[in-house]
Each structure stands twice: as structure tokens, then as C-alpha cells.
Amino acid sequence: MPIAPADHEDVRARDPAGSAPVAAVRLEGLVKRYGDVTAVERIDLEIREGEFFSMLGPSGSGKTTTLRMIAGFEAPTEGRVLLHGQDVTGRAPFERDVNTVFQDYALFPHMTVGENVGYGLLVRKVPKDDRQRRVADALRMVRLEGYERRKPGQLSGGQRQRVALARALVNRPRVLLLDEPLGALDLKLREEMQIELHQIQHQVGITFVYVTHDQDEALTMSDRIAVFNQGRIEQVGAPAEVYERPATRFVAGFVGTSNLLTGSAAEAVVGRAGMFTVRPEKIRLEDPGSTAADDEYAADGTIASVVYLGSDTRYHVALAAGGELVVTQQNLTTSSTEALEQQGRAVRLVWKRQHTREVAEA
């Protein structure tokens, strides 16, 4: 298939009416099946120009397969992929204006760092002077100046990760796809890179599509999140929205701690049947018999177990009406011994009604 005329430079393409901006990525009824196994089950999604968009979900939820269909490594069984309004479903990866940062970095081991970063420019026949300048710029952006001549084998995991990022960004793609890029790094480095990635995204203004199974990562970095489960998207929204107003039981459980009131507990506490969720940090631990205000719910129970987490403590409370709720409290005044001594204590849990969300089963 021939490459369409270069629309690379007409940034922020608009629709003919000239009003609403065209989505950077648009997925229409996307399905991917491998034989009998369905990896992606009819996904519709719009990713806006310039946003940091995360696809969050457990392994096997279809998020990586979706990313690979945007990149062009996998052909969808059904549906279309549009990049800036253009149907690219049938195009090969080298005909799409997107670049990917791979989970295993996929750096070419026989090339130096400079050659790796310059590879995309070389194969697109960018003149040498221009190439060298852009490679140097890209390496400066990821704070790896002077590493041009090293081989990937001589770098640490974090450095390789940055080379992979520079190698993708140097081509100035309109969309950057990142497949769990921080998965192989240790916690400390991961947190550093999260901040750095976020800054770089703001600096370059490229649309980032970020695949992760780490809810904290998605919540910290994203403008919007799509929560994937079993090949479907369960909810799309800003981090605060997804966290505070989960649409389904799965989202409530996967983003944050699953704190569900169902069946008899729901009727006893909320007053009607249904499935309700409340975030653990919204709940206060009170003495049994203490009164709740009019705009609050209350539930009696016993502290079944205590997990001391340093800055916080997590209490698992078995409810008298059945079920269990998790309560987290900052250790503002409590010491670890005090926290652990709470085990077995009878308590009353109190929280604002507005923090209770009714969720759908799926």
C-alpha cells in the first residue's frame, strides 16, 4: 500500500467544519481474535491530540494487543484504526507516523547509542548533519549527553530505557506508544522516570499512549485513563474520575482497593440492595455506639487484621452485617505498636454519603 501524501507538518488537523479537533488516535469497533481466543473485544476509543493517555489493566486484558494494533504490528480481525482522521488499518508499521517504546527496549545490540537513536532518521534518509544534531538533541533531552559511542550492553536498565525513549522521540512522531516501559526498573528509578516522562511529554507536546498494569503509574502521569478488562474497556476518564467514581465493580477493585458493600451489608448500611464502593481513606474508625451525622453512613464491625505500611496503616474490618471493608489511616499520631494493638477491637466505621458510589457488575 502506498504511503499517503505527507501530512506530517499540518499539526492539529481539524475536521472540515473547522470546529472540533480530530482525534490523534481513533479506534472503531476494534476486535482481535487468535483462533478461538478473543484478545480484544470491540473497542471504541478516541485519544485526543497532545494528551497523556494510559491504558490500564491486568495482564491479558487486551491493552498491549490494542497498542500493537495502533503501531501496526498486529492486524485487527475487525474494526478500524485512524490516526489523525486517516484510516491506517491496512498500513505496515513503517508507513505509520507513530513510534513505539518497547517493554524490553529492543535496542539494537550491534549499534552504538548514537546509531540506535539515529536509526529512524537514517532509514528515512535524513542528511547526516541534521541527523547528528537531532540525535544530540534527543540524547540531551533524556540526559544522556556524551553516551553516543557506548553500546547498549554497557548501559544500566534506566539508561537503556532512556535511549529507547530518545530513539522514538527523535523522529518526532505525532503519537508515541509506550508498552510498559518502566516495568523492568526498580521502584525508585521507576518513580524518577515517571516524573521525567511526564515532563518530556509536556515539553514535546506529542500524544503519549501509555500501557501499564500499575494503577499508581496511570494515576500519577495520565491526563486520561482507559481501564481494560477481558478485552473490553470498562471506563475512560480522568484519573480523579476513575478513582473517585469507578463505573464498575472491576474498576473499583483494580484502581485502588476493592471495598464493596453488597447483599445484606448494602441493605443494612445504605438501605437498599445494590453494589456500592467506598475508598478506604474516606472511612473513619470510631468507637462503637458513636453517632453518625445525617450525611454519613455508619457500619459496625471488628478489626480482623492490621497491616502496618509505614506512613499508613491498613485495617481490615469484618462487618457485623457481613462482608469486609478496608480502612486506611495515616499514622499521624499512632505508632506501629499502637496500630497493631487495634486488632480484634470492635469499631464503628463512618463515612460521608457522597463518597459512596454505586457500581455496575461489569
Using CB under 8 A as the criterion, which residues of the chain lie in contact with another protein when the complex forms? 71-73, 92-94, 98-100, 102-104, 106-110, 119-120, 123-124, 167-168, 171
| Nearest residue to 98 (alpha-carbon basis) of 112, 116, 86 | 86
Nearer to another protein, 100 or 201 (CB): 100
Nearer to another protein, 45 or 98 (CB): 98
Cα distances from 189 to residues 164, 168, 183, 184, 247, in angstroms, run 16, 20, 11, 10, 32
We find the least distance from the C-beta atom of residue 124 to another protein, in angstroms, to be 5
Measured from the CB of residue 131, what is the shortest distance to another protein in angstroms? 13
Q: Which residue number, 175 or 299, has a Cβ lying nearer to another protein? A: 175
What's the closest the beta carbon of residue 100 comes to another protein, in angstroms?
Answer: 5
Structure-block grid coordinates of residue 252:
473499583
DSSP 30-79: EEEEETTEEEEEEEEEEE-TT-EEEEE--TTSSHHHHHHHHHTSS--SEE
Judged by beta carbon, residue 172 or residue 282, the one nearer another protein is 172
Q: For residue 4, what are the contacts with CB-CB under 8 A and spacing of at least 6? A: 86
Q: Smallest distance from the beta carbon of 222 to another protein, in angstroms?
A: 23
Cα–Cα distances in angstroms (integers) from residue 282 to residues 25, 56, 347, 350, 354, in the given order: 36, 24, 15, 9, 10
Shortest distance, position 214 Cβ to another protein, whole Å: 21
Q: Write out the H or E segment, with its range, that includes residue 226.
A: strand 224-229
Nearer to another protein by Cβ, of 179 and 217: the residue is 179
CB of 163 closer than 8 Å to CB of 107: yes
3-class DSSP assignment, residue 153: helix
Query: Closest approach of Cβ 200 to another protein, in Å?
Result: 18
Taking the least distance from each CB to another protein, the nearer of 74 and 281 is 74
